Structure 1
């Protein structure tokens, strides 16, 4: 597993040598710097990494006097590519991130660049311009948490063709308005979508089946924190089913929410468990609960 490294290495100190007799720069450096060829030394000069008494020198035949100090600045390693959010996992086939709330998963007609897809694409291309990523699943713009992309077409097709067999668990945290009467339960319906992109449960069984399981973890007088598992990954499924349950997701005005106590949607993809499409290994990715969720339900509160 490759995790993103946010630590910085201490900068290397420059190498310094003192001339003991008259000389010229190139032969002096060849004698002092072991393991470097003539071309290596010339390359240091051309990159302006060599100084004599604190002044940058690029000429290989620059004369030296006894007592002068010759310094070679360290070659700075190219900065490792980074992401503006947490990288949870990466290998040759898949990459998994913790998407923040408010960021689109993929482009829309109105927004092309400020998306998780665009940012992760830039990240992998910094390593190799031939690298690509492919969309496997999505999270709503205002939903945070575990989001995965494929890095090869083979893996993309493997997920698309065998999603039910590969993905073993999709788990969310949901902050909802009010407290459900039952401590746990299942909401099952068939979903349709209007021309204005509003998803709803049909009354006649038409549409795509959606199954959502929930369990109350904590509650207060006005809100409840639910552990939610989905058997199907339909668009806006949890948001519609919480509305159907009579307890819309906090901050979700589109689906019946009346307020926004956290100033964001109360939905977070906390866990994704799957079988790796190439190695066959079972992997589990988790994204820490948002701090806003924790503030809503202090640790002592049940």
Structure 2
């Protein structure tokens, strides 16, 4: 059982406590938090409260996270788009709309379910729900992702991510015409104090750096390539919004009037890393999916 604490800051004052706690790390749903409150697991300044309690600046919240249930993550045969595989590593081109790993209440249809059916020998470092997963890409982002097939490889790949030596390039269609050809966005990312289920550029956030270059300009949009130096949650989506050019189709960070695509027009097209056993630097490239290319053709033709 884990005991957690949080002191309410000014930007959080007035929020319902169940909404606040659900957004602190995004790992637990609001309904789960409400169950904990009903069970008396949540207190404010030493007193048990109800789910509709509105927090005040300086409130000290304490809550206990119950031991997780033993979840049975089942292998599911899938037609995975595998770009590379050996005894240590597997590289997969994930389609838009697929969740990377299971979570409570969402145990099926994820990439992990498919990987377990395909190879069954994934690293166990990240536990039963995230076997083999070294890094993630968002559900509605397509593209390349590497997974570790043993703990030895997992540790090596994770160290490369930490040391910023993994090559990760994305293509994105963004709103507006970016006037300059190259740019670097160096702005810390953390939880949005106004919406704890979203990320934002905040002074208290973790360092985040995104490099971008313009590939093609259209009347109202720009095709860019973004290279990650760090790997924060929603980093490209948050950074592009921050400079006034949100990713097209992004339901969380972009405008409602956008291009006709189901999810953000963001594709992890290039992935490179040193093989954990041989040291050879491997680079893979996957073209954007058909709907992404269809949007580009429409932009070039002046349809959008």
TM-score, normalization: structure 1?
0.66
Within-5 A mapping of 1:281-296: 281-296=280-295
Q: Do the aligned residues in 1 keep the contact of 2:77 with 2:117 (CA within 8 Å)?
A: no
Distance 2:262 2:298 in 1: 21
Q: Do the aligned residues in 1 keep the contact of 2:164 with 2:230 (CA within 8 Å)?
A: no
Corresponding residue number in structure 1 for 2:67: none
Corresponding residue number in structure 2 for 1:173: 171
Distance 1:164 1:272 in 2: 15
Q: Do the aligned residues in 2 keep the contact of 1:189 with 1:211 (CA within 8 Å)?
A: yes
Query: Which residues of structure 2 form unaligned runs of 5+?
Result: 1-75, 124-130
For the pair shown, which has the larger CA radius of gyration, 1 or 2? 1
Corresponding residue number in structure 1 for 2:62: none
Q: Do the aligned residues in 2 keep the contact of 1:220 with 1:297 (CA within 8 Å)?
A: no
**Number of residue pairs the alignment of both structures matches:** 216
Distance 2:166 2:91 in 1: 16
Distance 2:298 2:264 in 1: 21
Provide, for residues 3-50 of structure 1, a one-character-per-residue CA deviation record: whole Å limited to 9, x for no partner: xxxxxxxxxxxxxxxxxxxxxxxxxxxxxxxxxxxxxxxxxxxxxxxx
Distance 2:186 2:291 in 1: 29
Within-5 A mapping of 1:246-285: 246-258=244-256, 259-285=258-284
Rate the CA distance shift 1:300–1:225 in 2: closer, same or farther, 3 A. Answer: closer
Q: Do the aligned residues in 1 keep the contact of 2:171 with 2:223 (CA within 8 Å)?
A: yes
Rate the CA distance shift 1:161–1:168 in 2: closer, same or farther, 3 A. Answer: closer
Corresponding residue number in structure 1 for 2:152: 154
Q: Which moved more, 1:190-199 or 1:99-108?
A: 190-199
Corresponding residue number in structure 2 for 1:201: 201
Q: Do the aligned residues in 1 keep the contact of 2:199 with 2:234 (CA within 8 Å)?
A: yes
- Pairwise CA distance, 1:188: 1.0
- Pairwise CA distance, 1:178: 1.4
- Pairwise CA distance, 1:299: 10
- Pairwise CA distance, 1:87: 0.6
Provide, for residues 95-149 of structure 1, a one-character-per-residue CA deviation record: whole Å limited to 9, x for no partner: 0100000000111233111111111111113xxxx66551100000000000110
Corresponding residue number in structure 2 for 1:47: none
Corresponding residue number in structure 1 for 2:190: 192
- Pairwise CA distance, 1:296: 2.2
Query: Which residues of structure 1 form unaligned runs of 5+?
Result: 1-80
- Check if 1:99 corresponds to 2:94: yes
Q: Do the aligned residues in 2 keep the contact of 1:105 with 1:116 (CA within 8 Å)?
A: yes
- Pairwise CA distance, 1:181: 2.5
Q: Do the aligned residues in 2 keep the contact of 1:273 with 1:285 (CA within 8 Å)?
A: yes
Within-5 A mapping of 1:26-41: none
Rate the CA distance shift 1:90–1:83 in 2: closer, same or farther, 3 A. Answer: farther
Q: Do the aligned residues in 2 keep the contact of 1:166 with 1:277 (CA within 8 Å)?
A: no
Rate the CA distance shift 1:196–1:164 in 2: closer, same or farther, 3 A. Answer: closer
Task: Give the counterpart of 2:222 among 220, 224, 228.
Answer: 224
